[in-house]
A = this chain, B = another copy of it.
Amino acid sequence: MLKPEILDPQGQAVQRALPRLGFDGISDVRQGKRFELEVDGPVDEAALARIHELAETFLANTVIEDFTVKVESGDTAEAVK
């Protein structure tokens, strides 16, 4: 996701459109990317550290984006940025 201090025009456009479409009560919308990675072998600490490095160096632009890495079922690790 974009860092909180970075403007998100896409999210703002969505947020402004919602009341027009009949959806009230949403005070903020932020839009970001999501990567689902399927990992060969066990998702252990070493694999997670490698995926964290991969997300930091390759998937996310850490100048303007934050990211988190989450493990989901079925040996799928997910990098949200």
A residues contacting B by CB (< 8 A) are: 1, 11, 14, 17-18, 21, 23, 25-41, 47, 50, 54, 57-59, 80
A14-B59, A54-B18 known; A31 vs B30 contact (CB < 8 Å)? no
A35 to B28, CA, bound (A): 10
B35→A31 contact, CB < 8 A: yes
A28 to B75, CA, bound (A): 12
The listed residue (B11, B34, B47, B59) touching A25 by CB distance below 8 A is B47
A26→B37 contact, CB < 8 A: yes
A32→B39 contact, CB < 8 A: no
In this complex, which of A26, A30, A50 has the most chain B Cβ atoms within 10 angstroms of its Cβ? A26
